[in-house]
Amino acid sequence: MSLEMAIELFRQAIYNSLMLVSPILITTIVVGLTISLIQAVTSIQEQTLSFAPKLFAVGGVLVFSASWLMKTLMNFTMTVFSKITEIPF
């Protein structure tokens, strides 16, 4: 395997990991900001109040995006396995 091929695989791994994690992170940030805004307006300062909505929102995102997540992971895995044959022994 050449250095260029290894760098390309590493780049694809980083790109795929960012793409897979981004829906979960964006959902968590949006729900967290919304709950924080509601807490600031109503003067409720309960620290555990934001945990349950974040948990349900992330669970919903995982349920609805599971097929896309698996397709992306399978495509990357098949790409990596196809490159294995190009490695000289």
Q: How many C-beta atoms lie closer than 10 Å to residue 54's C-beta?
A: 16
Q: Which two tokens stand for residue 15?
A: 């790109």
For the chain, which ranges sit under pLDDT 50? none
Q: What is the pTM of this model?
A: 0.79
37 vs 34, 42, 45, 51, 78, CA distance in Å? Answer: 5, 9, 11, 15, 44
| pLDDT attached to residue 89 | 65
Is the separation of the CB atoms in 46 and 39 below 8 Å? yes
Q: Which two tokens stand for residue 50?
A: 């934001």
CA distance 2 to 8: 10
